[in-house]
Amino acid sequence: MNDLRFALRSLSKTPGFTLIAVLTLALAIGANTAIFAIVNDLLLKPLVPAGDRPVVNVFHGEGDAGRAYRGFSWQELQELRQENPVFEDAAAVDFVLAGVGDGNNVRRTFAFFGTENLLNLIDQTPVRGRFFEAAESLPGANIPVVFASHSLWQRLGAKEDFVGSELRINGHPYTVIGVGARDLSLGHALITPEIWLPFGMHDTFRGNLIQNTEADAAVALDNPRRHSLNVMARLRPGLGLAGATAQLPVLDQRLDAIDTDPGEAPRRLEIEAPSRINISSVPSGDQGVGIFGALLLGMAGVVLLIACLNLANMLLARGAARTREFAVRLALGASRGRIIRQLLAEGLVLSLVGGAAGVLLALWANDLLINSISGLFSSMNFAVLVEAEPDPAVLLATLGFCAIATILSGLGPALKSSRVGLVEDLKYQGAESTATGSWNRFFSARHLLVMGQISLSLALIFAAGLFLRGALNAGGLDLGFEKDHGLLVELDYALTDTPAPLARERLLALHDEAASRPGLTAALSTQAPYSNTTADDRYKVAGSAEVDADGEPTGVSAIFNAITGDYFDAIGVPLLRGRKFTDAEVHSADAPPVAIIDERMAQRLFPEGDALGQRISRTQGPASGEPPVEYEIVGICGSFRHDVFSPDGPRRVFFPFARESVPNTFLHLRDARAGRDAAVALLPTARALISAVDANAPVIDAIPLADFVERNIGLWIVRVGAVLFGVFGGVALLLAVIGVYGVKAYAVTRRTREIGIRMALGARPGDVFALIMRQGTAQTALSIVVGAFLSLAIGQLLSQMLFRVDPLDPLVLGSAALVLAVATLTACFLPARRAAKVEPMRAIRTE
């Protein structure tokens, strides 16, 4: 305590030094705390308590290679829940879009269907009320109850009487039976649905998407050929992944006995630990997010190291200025260990104060990031689960960062400062020793530390430059369509009690009314480019075999889109050959089946001939067993992108709007004007059109197409990466400049008498200026060379995460080196200029 009290008094006497030291550590510790809080929530916190009965995700793959995964049927789930040597219990989830609210306040959100044992399986309990009962989960039970997420309860006012109240979903009343915990997750660490529904309501929801009795039977939950369930299971006590996998063939035989699709190959079960970022019927490890988290922690650690080097330099300078004080203490009987302990106490005080400030900085930074994530996922109908708040684990990590900072920045200077000679240092006059040569002075401890800062800073700035270039590339891609033209209105009749045929009729009426307006181009589509959801299927040349000689399924995967005739004009995509869909084809499902494909699909299916006039079919027919429908290709359009990451854009197949029954639809409006302002100016027109046709139309969004593209999750990921690494690079640059300036300023102060003697003996101000700058330039050049090699190594590590960027990009490396060189030489310039203005007589008498 005496050491700490003395440290506080000592530091309070040098407020400038203390403030700079605390701010340096606050930046570094704050960055590490912020990143650790995110990584902790996303990667380290257990999603499901394991104990001796781990929870696993279960997958159904075709053949030994585990290809062609699909979900489970209701009958298969029940078989997995029967007594068996592998699973103690199994639960399932499925997904659907739902509209929550009433009237004009309907909000579209993802709903998760869950079996009644789901919360027990993952060791969760409701914070209010209860979860589903077995009777509510039976297929066709139709008991309208809903289990709400904690975020929905909070958003609706966190009322005490919320459980038991009525919540309108898709226009129908549902009774709220419970509220989930804040951290309730079903296998995803970042997002969570807002409502859970019992499987007994499954067919009611799916019924909004169908238009005939055959399709009604196909979507029924108890249809043995409906494979839509994602399954989680808890292993039996003491059974690990390896032991459970060895016993899965027993369950394979039992599942094979259940009626499967005709001609389907035997399937095999697979299990894996729950993914933290994937809810799907296809296995997907967390390697990508793990690498990204490790990389973020590594970059934050480098910033902490740079800050510690900076603070160590400052403490070395402070210790050199206190040499006589330490000599007096030793002469009066203090031990060297006592002085080291005192200096470490001062370093600890700085680290703790800097850590406290860093926690506040981390809270602010993570609040900005989570608001950004929330805004993004709210447009995708999810609630954000991650909080990234300073829980005990984060606070403990912050204390660890403080301890690391104390040791890295304080121990070396303390050891050096405590090593004094009584006779020489009691007569200390404060001058830089001239006994050491220029070589030793060039590679002194202080200069080595600052050169290390410059090298590490270059590596971080280079990494930030690579991510920034990737973000610029993503924003400057040739999209293949005109995003700066037109307005996009999204409607979703699945959120209302509107049968699919009636919904299609109203949408076509809205389209016809818009198309009749002079100067206005209108179109309907079931998908929009750069949306965050995609629907695709496999297509093959009509009449070709279902499988090739190797047994592989034939056909090509492509995005399908149901459109009206002017769709390509509305988004600015050229129709290269053929024709558009006619009004008869768009309005009638009984018209001859036709399709339009893009040029990539044409080249893939018909590499040696003209696709126009040829026929294609989907590789799987309806569940009723009817043969697949064959479509005549009547047009070929230009290819265009659907997201950021696909290298050449997807393949596409377009059908007339009447051929698909998807109540979630986009209305494209465009006039002769270009630009975002012109699109915004179409909003009153869009509102008037919708009001005239259907005043109660479920409008989800009305937004310029350019803004819709900017909301794409892939684009957001690339840009957030650029921002995060840009912040690291900026902090590193700032710390390097502060370090260079501090060392050079201190060196000039220590050499004031030497400079005065040089000038008294005839040296000119320009000679003194060149003396300081020459050393700074040489040290900067050497640091940049070392940093360049380090940057190239980091570029290789980042190569898997960069978007269309060469990891050895010479332009980015050269720009980073130039920026750092200019900044550090500017930091050298100011002390050199001050040295050149030293007055000889005053300098000689300065001590």
Same domain, 39 and 123: no
Query: Which of 393, 428, 463 marks a domain boundary?
Result: 428
Count of structural domains within the chain: 3
Give me the pLDDT at residue 310, please: 79
Give me the pLDDT at residue 272, please: 82
Give me the pLDDT at residue 259, please: 59
Give me the DSSP letters along 305-344. HHHHHHHHHHHHHHHHHTHHHHHHHHHTT--HHHHHHHHH
Tokens of 457: 């800073």
Same domain, 265 and 400: no
Q: Nearest 5°: phi and psi at 838?
A: -65, 135
Q: Residue 493 domain-assigned?
A: yes
CA–CA distance, 274 with 186 (Å, rounded to integer): 9
Q: How confident is the model at residue 216 (pLDDT cuts 50, 70, 90)?
A: very low
User: Do residues 514 and 489 lie in contact, with contact meaning Cβ atoms separated by under 8 Å?
Assistant: no
The secondary element (H helix, E strand) that includes residue 9 is helix 2-12
Per the model's pLDDT, the better-predicted residue between 393 and 807 turns out to be: 807
Asked whether the predicted pLDDT for residue 32 surpasses 70, the reply is: yes
Query: Which of 686, 713, 740 marks a domain boundary?
Result: 713
656 pairs with which residues across the strands?
Answer: 563
Q: How confident is the model at residue 667 (pLDDT cuts 50, 70, 90)?
A: very high
CA–CA distance, 523 with 666 (Å, rounded to integer): 8
Q: How confident is the model at residue 211 (pLDDT cuts 50, 70, 90)?
A: very low
Range(s) of the domain holding residue 32:
1-47+301-428
User: Do residues 559 and 709 lie in contact, with contact meaning Cβ atoms separated by under 8 Å?
Assistant: no
Same domain, 321 and 264: no
Tokens of 445: 């401890």
51 CB burial (10 A radius; 0-12, 13-18, 19+): exposed
Q: Residue 383 domain-assigned?
A: yes
CA–CA distance, 709 with 713 (Å, rounded to integer): 9
Per residue in 510-544, pLDDT (tens digit) is 999 999 988 899 999 998 888 877 777 788 888 77
Radius of gyration of the chain (CA): 34
The secondary element (H helix, E strand) that includes residue 656 is strand 652-656
Q: b vs e for 413-451, b when ≥16 Cβ sit within 10 Å of the residue's Cβ? A: bbebbbebeeeebeebeeebeeeeeeeebeebebbebbb
Q: How confident is the model at residue 188 (pLDDT cuts 50, 70, 90)?
A: low
Q: Nearest 5°: phi and psi at 39?
A: -60, -35
Asked whether the predicted pLDDT for residue 467 surpasses 80, the reply is: yes
Which of 443, 485, 457, 498 has its CA nearest to residue 572? 485
Q: Residue 815 domain-assigned?
A: no
Within 8 A by CB and 6+ apart from 462, the residues are 787, 791, 794, 795, 812, 813, 816
Tokens of 606: 């018909």
Tokens of 16: 């400038």
Which of 415, 77, 51, 95 has its CA nearest to residue 236? 51
Percentage of the residues of the chain whose pLDDT score is greater than 90: 13
Asked whether the predicted pLDDT for residue 208 surpasses 60, the reply is: no
Same domain, 391 and 416: yes
pTM (predicted TM-score): 0.73
Same domain, 423 and 343: yes
Q: How confident is the model at residue 337 (pLDDT cuts 50, 70, 90)?
A: confident
What value does the mean pLDDT take over residues 765-790? 87
Place of tokens 């690291």: 728
Same domain, 215 and 73: yes
Same domain, 568 and 544: yes
CA–CA distance, 427 with 442 (Å, rounded to integer): 26
What value does the mean pLDDT take over residues 175-192? 77
Per residue in 723-754, pLDDT (tens digit) is 878 887 888 888 888 878 777 777 777 777 77
Give me the pLDDT at residue 425, please: 54
Q: Residue 819 domain-assigned?
A: no
Q: How confident is the model at residue 846 (pLDDT cuts 50, 70, 90)?
A: low
Which of 280, 253, 281 has its CA nearest to residue 267? 253
Q: How confident is the model at residue 213 (pLDDT cuts 50, 70, 90)?
A: very low
Same domain, 354 and 501: no
Asked whether the predicted pLDDT for residue 624 surpasses 50, the reply is: no
For residue 11, how many other CB atoms are within 10 A of its CB? Answer: 19
Same domain, 318 and 405: yes
CA–CA distance, 783 with 790 (Å, rounded to integer): 11
Within 8 A by CB and 6+ apart from 679, the residues are 484, 485, 486, 487, 704, 705, 706
Which of 728, 715, 726, 716 has its CA nearest to residue 34? 728
Q: How confident is the model at residue 653 (pLDDT cuts 50, 70, 90)?
A: very high
Give me the pLDDT at residue 597, please: 93
CA–CA distance, 409 with 407 (Å, rounded to integer): 6
User: Do residues 685 and 505 lie in contact, with contact meaning Cβ atoms separated by under 8 Å?
Assistant: no
Q: What angle do CA 711, 469, 531 make, to 5 degrees?
A: 20
User: Do residues 136 and 175 lie in contact, with contact meaning Cβ atoms separated by under 8 Å?
Assistant: no
Per the model's pLDDT, the better-predicted residue between 435 and 452 turns out to be: 452
The secondary element (H helix, E strand) that includes residue 109 is strand 107-114
Same domain, 31 and 86: no
Place of tokens 């290298």: 647
The secondary element (H helix, E strand) that includes residue 58 is strand 55-62
User: Do residues 728 and 464 lie in contact, with contact meaning Cβ atoms separated by under 8 Å?
Assistant: yes
Place of tokens 């650790």: 36
Q: Residue 197 domain-assigned?
A: yes
Q: Residue 828 domain-assigned?
A: no
User: Do residues 180 and 196 lie in contact, with contact meaning Cβ atoms separated by under 8 Å?
Assistant: yes
What value does the mean pLDDT take over residues 377-390? 60
Per the model's pLDDT, the better-predicted residue between 190 and 149 turns out to be: 149
Give me the pLDDT at residue 258, please: 78
What value does the mean pLDDT take over residues 574-589? 91
Per residue in 47-91, pLDDT (tens digit) is 665 556 788 888 887 755 445 678 888 888 998 898 888 898 999
- Helix ranges, 122-201 (H): 134-137, 150-155
Asked whether the predicted pLDDT for residue 689 surpasses 70, the reply is: yes
Q: Residue 550 domain-assigned?
A: yes
What value does the mean pLDDT take over residues 335-356? 85
Same domain, 42 and 60: no
Q: Residue 398 domain-assigned?
A: yes
Query: Which of 713, 736, 756 marks a domain boundary?
Result: 713
Same domain, 60 and 199: yes
